[in-house]
Amino acid sequence: MYGGGVCMYIHKDTKFIIRTDLNHVSFETVWVEIIFERAKSVLVGTIYRPPEQSGFYDTLDGCLAGVGEVETILIGDWNTDMQRKNAPVFKSFSGFCDLHSFSQLITQHPGMISGKGVIACGLSDHYMIFCTRKKLKQRAGCHKTVTSRDLKTYSSEAFNLELESLDWSEELSGTQVEETWLGFKTKFSTVLNNMAPLRTTRVKNRAEPWMHSDILTTMKTRDKKCSEFHKSQSMLTKSTSSELQAHVTELKLQRNRLRNDVNSMIKTAKKNFINEKLRLQFSNINIKTDNTLITDKLDVANYLNIFFTNIATTLVNKLPSHSGHFGVEHILAYYNNLGANLSCDKMASSVIKKVNQRTRFLYRISSLVNKNTLKTLAGALIQGYYDYACTSWYQSTSKALKTKLQTSQNKLVRLLLDLTSRTHLTPAHFDNLGWLRVDDRVQQLAMGLVYKIHYTTKVPMYMSKYFPKVNEYHDHNTRGSSTNHVKPRFGSKQGLNTFRNYATSMWNALPTAVKECESLLTFKTSLKEHLRETAIRNWPL
């Protein structure tokens, strides 16, 4: 009717929808929407334009009016000379492409094409031009099943005898092609299924959520090159050919290059996956409570406000009830990390273990997140273990465990600054992170508490009684009478490790200018600067 025709072959395993709503009586066309799992569909149109047909592109524009936002690929013979720029047909073609943002798939999108070429074919007076579009990257986080024939009991002789025993007279004398083909297919498939039944086999696959098809393809190529390299290497031991040696060297280079490519692709995929998860989590914060999902930002803020306001009462209500009498067993159960000689080595060992575990975790994910995120994670996951009740247990810890505590912090500093394990740390490294060493951090927290005792009433009353001021103890007018505290006296060495004793000594040793700061914030800033300068002077070489 139009001097030509179109057809489209689609694989039987491909999911598709024939879009007859896009057809038009003015030209030959086939429209198919290909359906992908976990990805957007693709609309493919095969169109033929007769050489002398006018108004073709206007009609085609009307067909695409109801397509919407979907990837569309148009193929076929449109009989448009691309060299004649001033021809009306080319101008109509150019305007149509600009209107719908169409572009040449092979030349302008080479990253989407894995193959292209020309096929000599006798079905038409034109050779067929083809291109292979890359499949969308799909997550390979599931196992696959492969269907195959079970050939354990198969015998070609028995198969031929079984076929010869059948009656083929109807198929040999049939005049209807479809009926003859269906009859032959039914008989042949019955014999084949009896001799070699179908079986399904599960093929294990990489189940990580960041794995996709491109990584798996590169991994298969890498494994193939590794196999070729090992075979050639075994042949090289039996031969001294220079060509074979050069071939083995080239295979080794290709294997190493592919191995590095796979590692790089996996790291990039992990990083993109985690960053996307973090972006979605931070942008869509919701809370589920009592089987109700709260998504509104204001409702989420109100819920968190109520939760943290009542958290103390909630925790107290969850405490187990007691009989009113605490024996030795109860005391030891609550204070099992406190030794008989006021040693807190068990507590320090527990802190070191937990810090090292989380540091190893940060090492594993260090290539997937940026340095600011890594520092935030370190503060959230690790710093709390150093700070938790450190003013109670740190001074009573043995010197060996104090060294291990500092070593664990040094590992964390090297990780955050991307340093080698043998790099000698200096005060500049800690200043870069805004951190203090473990012992200085303990002193900073202890002095913050003493400042509150000295200048405010935001502490329990008994704490103030344990830290009497010098000018309240006697009337002598000394340099530190207005800012210093009276140092306690103990009859044994165990009392030297108490918070009352060492905190008083640390406070009295501070410069007067630091102790006389007017606000807690100013005091903390001045104290940190003082500790930093002291650490520089006393830094171990």
**Calpha distance 243→535 (Å, rounded):** 64
Sequential pLDDT tens for the chain (541 residues): 455 678 888 888 888 888 888 888 878 888 898 887 767 788 888 888 888 788 888 888 888 877 777 888 888 888 888 888 888 888 888 888 877 778 888 787 777 777 778 888 776 677 777 888 776 555 555 667 788 888 888 888 988 998 889 888 888 888 888 888 888 999 898 988 888 888 888 776 666 777 777 888 888 888 888 888 888 777 766 666 777 778 888 888 888 888 898 888 888 888 888 887 777 666 566 777 777 878 777 888 888 888 888 888 888 888 777 665 656 666 555 555 555 455 688 889 999 999 999 999 999 888 888 888 889 999 999 999 999 888 888 988 889 999 999 999 999 999 999 999 889 999 999 999 999 999 999 999 999 999 998 888 777 777 778 888 887 776 666 666 678 888 888 777 777 878 888 888 899 889 989 988 989 899 999 999 999 999 988 887 6
For 459-489, b/e burial (b = at least 16 CB within 10 A) is eeeeeeebbebbbeeeeeeeeeeebbbeeee
Residue 119: helix, strand or coil by DSSP? strand
**Calpha distance 431→395 (Å, rounded):** 24
Instruction: Render 397-411 in DSSP notation, one character per residue.
Output: S-HHHHHHHHHHHHH
Tokens 């305007």 sit on residue:
95
**Calpha distance 369→17 (Å, rounded):** 42
Looking at residue 335, its pLDDT comes to 53
Question: Hey, how many other C-beta atoms are within 10 angstroms of the C-beta on 50?
Answer: 17
Q: Do the beta carbons of residue 507 and residue 450 sit within 8 Å?
A: yes
Residue 139: helix, strand or coil by DSSP? strand
Question: Hey, how many other C-beta atoms are within 10 angstroms of the C-beta on 441?
Answer: 19
Sign of the dihedral defined by the CA atoms of residues 316, 320, 326, 330, in that order: negative
Closest Cα partner for 39 from 129, 157, 105, 133? 133
Instruction: Tell me how long the chain is.
Output: 541
CA angle 114, 115, 119 (to 5 degrees): 160
**Calpha distance 487→508 (Å, rounded):** 9
Looking at residue 4, its pLDDT comes to 65
Q: Do the beta carbons of residue 57 and residue 95 sit within 8 Å?
A: yes
Could you tell me which CATH number the domain at 15-102 has? 3.60.10.10
Start-to-end Cα distance in the chain: 94
Looking at residue 325, its pLDDT comes to 60
Residue 288: helix, strand or coil by DSSP? strand
**Calpha distance 450→455 (Å, rounded):** 9
DSSP-derived pairing of the beta strands 113-119 and 71-77:
unpaired
Residue 86: helix, strand or coil by DSSP? coil
Backbone angles phi, psi at 536, to 5 degrees: -65, -40
Q: What DSSP element (H or E) covers 534?
A: helix 520-537
Instruction: Render 240-259 in DSSP notation, one character per residue.
Output: --HHHHHHHHHHHHHHHHHH
Instruction: Render 25-80 in DSSP notation, one character per residue.
Output: TTSEEEEEEEE-TTS--EEEEEEE--TT--SHHHHHHHHGGG--SSEEEEEEE---
Task: Look up residue 239 and give its two tokens.
Answer: 């031969």
pTM over the 0.85 mark = no
Residue 203: helix, strand or coil by DSSP? strand
**Calpha distance 523→323 (Å, rounded):** 45
